[in-house]
Amino acid sequence: MNNTDKEFLLEKYAMENYPDAGPWNLSLENKYLEYMITRFFEEHFTVGEGTNICNIGIGAGSWDKYLSFKLNGGRLTSIDIDEVACRKFRLCLEIEKNPADVRVIASDVLQVEGLENSIDIVTMIGSTRMESGLYESILNKAISFVKPGGSFYYQSLDQNENQDAFLRICEANGLTIEASLSDDAYGIKSQYFKVTKPLQAK
């Protein structure tokens, strides 16, 4: 890793702790959300040998790093439209000597091709869906990546989202709701879903 890359990483680390971001990133509310996101995954998803995972929305990269450590001979595909977030995640994997098989794609997920019906577990968490400004199109795209028998983990922080809208999309795609949870601790509405694609199309 050259000095330019090291300076880039140091700058991004500092930005996460600036006065406008640091207090939230280190707050009890954020730590609780991180715990709940991980807990729901641990309780409802199984990462077996060779399981392939795709996460849509790298952001700070902590969730993708967590997923990389869960791999057992499979591959993690991490997608984000933000090239800076992708570069940072790639460099973190390198400097931390992360041995996982990780593919990072810097692209609008709607433009990503070749992943249809190929991923065991697809995840989309936090503010990813809200920040995209999209709803049905991005959720349908994420669902299209799930292989028959695979699962989609959707976690939403949209305070105005009605879960019925998400459930209608799942029904239209023939998905089964395996688990769900609604939580409003610390005054923050969050919703968690595990949905599964049938082995055979209906």
136-189 pLDDT, tens per residue?
A: 999 999 999 999 999 999 999 999 898 999 999 999 999 999 999 999 999 999
Taking the C-alpha atoms of residue 199 and residue 202, their distance in angstroms, rounded to an integer, is 9
Q: Which residue has the higher pLDDT, 8 or 180?
A: 180
pLDDT for residue 103: 99
pLDDT band at 131 (very low <50, low <70, confident <90, very high): confident
CATH topology of domain 3-196: Rossmann fold (3.40.50)
Q: What is the mean pLDDT of the chain?
A: 94
> The pTM is what?
0.93
pLDDT for residue 124: 97
Q: Which residue has the higher pLDDT, 19 or 110?
A: 110
Query: 30-75 pLDDT, tens per residue?
Result: 999 999 999 999 999 999 999 999 999 999 999 999 999 999 999 9
pLDDT > 70 fraction of the chain, expressed in percent and rounded: 99
- Collect contacts of 105-114 with beta carbons under 8 A, ≥24 apart: 105/77, 105/78, 105/79, 105/80, 106/80, 106/81, 106/82, 107/79, 107/81, 108/81, 109/56, 109/79, 109/81, 109/138, 109/141, 109/142, 110/134, 110/137, 110/138, 110/141, 112/79, 112/141
pLDDT for residue 201: 53
- Per-residue b or e along 20-47, where b marks 16 or more CB atoms closer than 10 Å to that residue's CB: eeeeeeeeeeeeebbebbeebbeebbeb
pLDDT for residue 104: 99
The distance of Cα 159 from the centroid of its chain, to the nearest Å, equals 19
Is the Cβ–Cβ distance between 110 and 137 less than 8 Å? yes
